[in-house]
Amino acid sequence: MKRIVLVTGILIAIQSSLYAQVETDRPETFLFEHRNRLQDLQHDLGNTDKTDSSHVYSTDTISREIAYTTYISAGASGFFNSNSISNDFIRRFRYNRTYIDNDLKEQEISRMKSSNRIGSDIKIQLYGQHQLKNKTRLEFGLTYRDFYGAQFTTDAFKLVFYGNTIFAGQYADLSPLSLHSFNYEALYVGARKTLDKQQRVTAGVRLGYIRGNRFQHARFKNTTLYTDPMGSYLSLTGDFDITYNDDTSGAIQRGNGNGLYTDLYFSVKGDRNEFVVEVLDLGFIQWNGMAHYKGNGTYTYTGIPIDNIFSSDGLTVNPISLSSFLDAAGLEKEYKNVTYLLPATLHLAYFRHINPKLTVSAGVRQQFISGYIPRVYAKAAYYIQKNFALIPTLAYGGFGKTDIELGLAKNFNQHLIVSANLFWLEYLAWAKKSSGHGMSVSMSYYF
């Protein structure tokens, strides 16, 4: 088992498109805060000696929370999802980094919609919780996050992977096109408090500081790119803006921005039911010294002017970058500070304990970023043992379409919980015809 955990951890660390949510529906919660309390009742009824366990269960309420002082957790998660880009393309483009041939391009084009979505979200988190007085728990943690979300047209895909030659004498339709990509580190503290004596109502809030690193943002509205049949000029027409920081190298980059955010949490528990509302990543980052282009109209690129090839300076061949293209088209690059909201997430989840062996859950998650549609899901936690659960998930939405996931959670000695959520089935079985894959793992220890 240790060997498996080691391999899994390294895989998570190296791969960049994995999936999990360090949220209320993560697998380990089915053995902790959302554990099946019917098991406790059965346990209590069948066991006259209530002190044979190292943990004492409350019997004056059906909630029967685990009594613990401190809880620490380390986890990593990541996913990639799309409504059009296949897992096969991602594997070859992102993981294997091989040559993208025309067959693969055509395969992807055949899957394209009028509006295509793609996104990935990678998080690594260290989390801690400590019991204070008055049923209040102090929360604290450290997070690294790398987020990418985009919406694009088929023409935009063709433009990137085939070039503009195929558009000679034609307009390439680029709208809707948006891209939002960033990474940051965050440090947060918060509190979670049980509001009633029966411990049925819990609310929490976190406040975090963000150090922003990479930032790329692009938005194109009603935008086309026209290529002259002889290639004499390219003409970009539309309403668009592009913002990015030039320094994008390295995983740990210099800070390019600062921000604040908050997470809000509220749950109500009944005898067999539980309802949770979370608002995550409600905040902003002010990005400093970003390169910024903004245009609304028609911008024509006719080549990089050179003064005089006969001058003593001679002729210099420079690579033509997006920047030099936009500059030559008459767009002025400016450097400015910009503030962007984080893509906040609203998550509603409902849990029902059917019997001591089975808890089901359903929920909906909306991330407020273009290209993301509400993601609805249904989960079932089947307790093979009281301390070991299998949690299959069926979901639809988000950046992708229908997804199947399988969660595992195991409690060792009622102190250590190890869990994983595997979103691999489609990737392994139907890579060319499916989109979306990811994984999460976490280890938690409480005492």
We find the least distance from the C-beta atom of residue 323 to another protein, in angstroms, to be 12
Q: Which two tokens stand for residue 196?
A: 């009633």
Binding marks (x or -) toward another protein, 111..150, rule CB under 8 A?
A: -------------x-------------------x------
Q: How far apart are CA 232 and CA 384, in angstroms?
A: 69
Other CB atoms within a 10 A radius of the CB of residue 230 amount to: 8
Binding of another protein at residue 303 (CB under 8 A)? yes
We find the least distance from the C-beta atom of residue 10 to another protein, in angstroms, to be 6
Q: How far apart are CA 361 and CA 356, in angstroms?
A: 14
Which one of residues 201, 233, 336, 374 is an interface residue with another protein (CB under 8 A)?
Answer: 233
Binding of another protein at residue 163 (CB under 8 A)? yes
Binding of another protein at residue 416 (CB under 8 A)? yes
Cα 155 to the chain's mean position, in Å?
26
Taken in order 159, 161, 164, 166, is the CA torsion positive or negative? negative
Binding of another protein at residue 14 (CB under 8 A)? yes
Structural element, H or E, at residue 184 = strand 177-194
Closest by alpha carbon to 397, among 120, 82, 179?
82
Residue with tokens 């304990």: 353
Structural element, H or E, at residue 42 = helix 38-46
Closest by alpha carbon to 438, among 34, 90, 157?
90
Pick the stretch among 199-207, 246-254, 364-372, 431-439 that binds another protein (CB under 8 A).
246-254
Q: How many residues of this chain bind another protein (CB under 8 A)?
A: 69
DSSP E strand boundaries for 329-412: 334-341, 345-355, 358-367, 373-385, 388-398, 402-412
We find the least distance from the C-beta atom of residue 282 to another protein, in angstroms, to be 26
Binding of another protein at residue 313 (CB under 8 A)? yes
Residue with tokens 């935008």: 223
User: What does the DSSP 8-state code read for residue 430?
Assistant: -
Q: Which is nearer to another protein, 114 or 308 (CB)?
A: 308
User: Dihedrals φ, ψ of 134, to 5°?
Assistant: 60, 40
Which one of residues 53, 70, 98, 131 is an interface residue with another protein (CB under 8 A)?
Answer: 98
Q: Which two tokens stand for residue 220?
A: 């194109």
What one-letter code names the amino acid at 419?
S
Q: How far apart are CA 322 and CA 243, in angstroms?
A: 12
Looking only at residues 341 through 400 of this chain, which bind another protein when binding is defined by CB under 8 A? none
Q: Which is nearer to another protein, 183 or 359 (CB)?
A: 183
Binding of another protein at residue 54 (CB under 8 A)? no
Q: Which is nearer to another protein, 67 or 304 (CB)?
A: 304
We find the least distance from the C-beta atom of residue 369 to another protein, in angstroms, to be 23
Pick the stretch among 91-99, 130-138, 202-210, 267-275 that binds another protein (CB under 8 A).
91-99
Pick the stretch among 32-40, 95-103, 351-359, 432-440 that binds another protein (CB under 8 A).
95-103
Binding of another protein at residue 418 (CB under 8 A)? yes
Which one of residues 162, 275, 382, 424 is an interface residue with another protein (CB under 8 A)?
Answer: 162
Residues in the chain: 447
Binding of another protein at residue 302 (CB under 8 A)? yes
Binding of another protein at residue 312 (CB under 8 A)? yes
Binding of another protein at residue 60 (CB under 8 A)? no
What one-letter code names the amino acid at 75?
G
Rg for the chain, CA atoms, rounded: 26
User: What does the DSSP 8-state code read for residue 87?
Assistant: H
Closest by alpha carbon to 217, among 150, 298, 289?
150
User: Dihedrals φ, ψ of 9, to 5°?
Assistant: -60, -45
Which one of residues 45, 46, 51, 315 is an interface residue with another protein (CB under 8 A)?
Answer: 315
Beta bridge partner(s), residue 143: 125, 186
Binding marks (x or -) toward another protein, 318..347, rule CB under 8 A?
A: xxxx--------------------------
We find the least distance from the C-beta atom of residue 13 to another protein, in angstroms, to be 4
Q: Which two tokens stand for residue 216?
A: 């790329």
Pick the stretch among 227-235, 386-394, 396-404, 423-431 that binds another protein (CB under 8 A).
227-235
Q: Which is nearer to another protein, 20 or 38 (CB)?
A: 20
Pick the stretch among 107-115, 157-165, 368-376, 378-386 that binds another protein (CB under 8 A).
157-165
Binding region for another protein (CB under 8 A): 2, 5-6, 9-10, 12-14, 16, 74, 76, 92-94, 96-101, 105, 124, 144, 160-166, 168, 227, 230-234, 249-252, 301-321, 412-413, 415-416, 418, 443, 445
